[in-house]
């Protein structure tokens, strides 16, 4: 009945075969999440290193944008460089 509703020829003989093909999607999402977390930590470090307390690095004005409320005030967007 379910196989007909899904337009399949017949039900699968092994139920593991029906659901195990989704492991690649879970692995892809897991790796993507891990990469995003590491990039977030790197961006946090860049903001900290370029702060007035540390001055370890200096980023050019190419990494700053104008505020839409105050167009003549440049807002540092250092975390967006990663």
18-40 tens-digit pLDDT: 777 778 888 999 999 999 999 99
pLDDT at 24: 86
Interval 7-17 mean pLDDT: 82
pTM: 0.56
Going through the chain in order, the beta strands assigned E by DSSP cover 64-66, 74-76
CA dihedral for 16, 17, 21, 22, sign (positive or negative):
negative
């Amino acid at each position: 009945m379910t196989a007909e509703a899904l337009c399949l020829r017949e039900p699968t003989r092994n139920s593991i075969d029906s659901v195990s093909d989704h492991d690649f999607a879970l692995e892809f999402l897991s790796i993507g999440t891990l990469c995003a977390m590491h990039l977030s930590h790197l961006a946090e470090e860049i903001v900290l290193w370029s702060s007035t307390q540390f001055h370890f690095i200096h980023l050019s004005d190419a990494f700053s944008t104008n505020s839409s409320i105050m167009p003549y005030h440049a807002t540092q967007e250092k975390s967006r460089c990663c």
